[in-house]
Amino acid sequence: MTQPLWTDIDQYITGKLVPDDPVLAAVLAANAAAGLPAHDVAPNQGKLLYLLARLMGARRILEIGTLGGYSTLWLARALPPGGRLTTLEENPHHAAMARLNFGRAGAAEMVDLREGPALETLPALATEGAGPFDLIFIDADKPNNPRYLKWALSLARPGSLIIGDNVIREGGILDEASADPRIQGVRRFIDLISAEPRLEATALQTVGVKGHDGFVIAMVSGQAVDNEPARKL
Ligand code: SAH
Ligand code: DHB
Ligand code: MG
């Protein structure tokens, strides 16, 4: 099982189930032409984010790590009228491309892009009384994932969904002695989720056009009374 097969299968799935979308295709082409790294979620992963947001009727979404706005647009498309998405991006070049793309997609109205290090824009959001957010997608600098988890919890409500990208890294996650701060950040992130009584979580490995990686998906259960794990059948 190798990359060419994963790629062929992703293309098969996307061909059948993720219809060609000229706006999203133009976004990816513009990002590549502008030299942005191809770190966007894959199309079938973007559709998963969209479906999860639809499923829970998300009206307020927070994304940490915008890049060119590809995942942002998938999530924004799940919003009902009046819904809003806040997305945080540190890199001015990425933020400028994302703004262009939101305009191109007709999404500028519903997306609030905050430029700057997320560890500065998150406290500002909290001070403003933003949120609670129904869905929070964590996909920025992985060494800060433990800090992002704490902010996500404080900006969430019982029932919110917290999703983290890139938690497998071709198996790098298993290397407890890794010198890579991204691996250490993701390992601590998983440990914190594991130890957090307010979260019920799982993680899924993915293979496909973006290689071997994965998502962690956690639901905030909130109040003590609400905190029982799913009842056994
Ligand atoms: N969610 C995007 C991909 C994000 S790539 C998608 O799937 O389409 C990660 C992004 O996080 C990059 O654009 C990077 O510039 C940004 N980033 C890195 N460190 C950051 C920080 N401290 N604060 C905010 N954004 C950051
Ligand atoms: C990287 C970051 C991402 O968010 C991603 O989806 C893939 C790769 C990276 O920094 O290498
Ligand atoms: Mg990612």
* Mutation to probe ligand 2, out of 48, 90, 166 (largest number of atoms < 8 A from CB): 166
Number of other CB atoms surrounding residue 223 within 10 Å:
8
Over residues 91-122, the pLDDT tens digits come to: 999 999 999 999 999 999 999 999 999 999 99
Given the DSSP bridges, would you call strands 161-165 and 211-220 parallel, antiparallel or unpaired? antiparallel
Whether 35 and 68 have beta carbons less than 8 Å apart is answered as no
Please give the model's pTM, rounded to 2 decimal places: 0.96
- The pLDDT-based confidence of 233 (bands split at 50, 70, 90) is low
Ligand 2 closest atom vs CA 141 = 10
Using a CB cutoff of 5 Å, list residues around ligand 3, an ion.
139, 165-166
pLDDT average, residue stretch 134-139: 98
Over residues 201-219, the pLDDT tens digits come to: 999 999 999 999 999 999 9
**Which residues contact ligand 1 via a Cβ below 6 A?**
39-41, 65-67, 70-71, 88-91, 94, 117-118, 139-141, 144
Q: How far apart are CA 73 and CA 216, in angstroms?
A: 20
Number of other CB atoms surrounding residue 179 within 10 Å:
7
Whether the pLDDT of residue 78 is over 90: the answer is: yes
Whether 219 and 160 have beta carbons less than 8 Å apart is answered as yes
CA of 151 to the centre of ligand 2 (A): 21
- What is residue 152's three-state secondary structure? helix
| Tokens 């189930």 found at | 17
Whether 104 and 27 have beta carbons less than 8 Å apart is answered as yes
Query: DSSP letter string over 126-149?
Result: HHHT----SEEEE-S-GGGHHHHH
**Which residues contact ligand 2 via a Cβ below 6 A?**
39, 139, 165-166
CA of 172 to the centre of ligand 1 (A): 20
The burial of 208, by beta-carbon neighbours within 10 Å (0-12 exposed, 13-18 middle, 19 or more buried), is given as: buried
Given the DSSP bridges, would you call strands 135-138 and 161-165 parallel, antiparallel or unpaired? parallel
Residue 103 to residues 60, 137, 146, 181, 229, Cα–Cα distance (Å): 20, 21, 32, 35, 42
CA of 68 to the centre of ligand 1 (A): 9
